Amino acid sequence: MRDWVDRHLDWLGGLLLPPRCVLCGSSGQAPCLDLCAGCAASFAAADEPVLAGPDPLRRTCAPFAYAPPLDHLVHALKYRGQLATARVLGTLLAGWLAGRGLPHEVDVIVPVPLHPDRHAERGFNQSAELAHQLGRSLHLSVAESLAIRRRATPPQVGLHLDERRRNLAGAFGAGPVADLRVAIVDDVTTTGATLRELACVLLQAGACTVDAWCIARTDRGRIHSSARREPSPSAGWMR
Ligand SMILES: [Zn+2]
């Protein structure tokens, strides 16, 4: 019944407001994806879209490389607050995950939390926006308050993996999550340090497995060059 309602709401939405590509402005894809087929086809695939681990994660999924033009969409969401892009990115990621049967192995979606100060300043959490679109598309529940950020962490950009780990130690807390299979959602992963730290906390809180679902992966060998594409890592970058 819910599928039927969702399909018809999408159909009605497409009639009232035809989808329009957020990148080039041409017609989007029916029923309601605001991205044209040409722009979608221009997204580069990640070298390893599904990784086993890294420990303690069961697997990490990130279908796309963090490169133009997809990085423009991530920036539009994260730094310009264009929340419509979360629908596009979340819908793409949901379709990719569903095509591989991966959502069947997950009970609940948990977005990587922002520190409350950062959330208040930005007004939204881009990971939560993605998570809610995934929840709608995949009919999975989203537990936004299950994980919390206890302290704001300094910029990760430009840090090596061991420095990132030290940076994140004790940064997260989690409520009880007994016997649930969790998928953590983040926009972009680089070294996976954030995902691994949060996975540790969720497993300590009782989760049976933790996967990570991200839109894109940066090229690990080009952490410093990709950092230059990020807005300047001012104090406002802390999350
Ligand atoms: Zn387009």
The domain that holds 103 is classified in CATH as 3.40.50.2020
Q: Does 58 lie in the same domain as 25?
A: no
- pLDDT tens column, 29-77: 887 888 999 999 999 999 999 999 889 999 999 999 999 999 999 999 9
Give 11 Cα–ligand 1 centroid separation in angstroms. Answer: 20
How far is 203 from 178, CA to CA, in rounded Å?
9
Per-residue pLDDT, averaged over 66-94, amounts to 93
Direct distance between the N- and C-terminal alpha carbons of the chain, in angstroms, rounded to an integer: 39
Q: Does 64 lie in the same domain as 22?
A: no
What pTM did the predictor assign?
0.85
Per-residue pLDDT, averaged over 106-129, amounts to 93
| Of 152, 164, 155, residue with least CA distance to 220 | 164
The answer on pLDDT for 237 being more than 70 is no
Q: Does 130 lie in the same domain as 169?
A: yes
Q: Does 120 lie in the same domain as 109?
A: yes
**DSSP letter string, 98-163:** HHTTGGGG-SEEEEPPPPHHHHHHHSS-HHHHHHHHHHHHHT-EE-TTSEEE-S-----TT--HHH
Give 121 Cα–ligand 1 centroid separation in angstroms. Answer: 31
Which residue range forms the structural domain that includes residue 174? 44-237
Q: Does 229 lie in the same domain as 161?
A: yes
Number of domains in the chain: 2
Give 175 Cα–ligand 1 centroid separation in angstroms. Answer: 41
Q: Does 226 lie in the same domain as 115?
A: yes
Q: Does 55 lie in the same domain as 35?
A: no
The answer on pLDDT for 222 being more than 60 is no
Using a pLDDT cut of 70, give the percent of the chain over it: 84
- pLDDT tens column, 127-152: 999 999 999 999 999 999 999 998 87
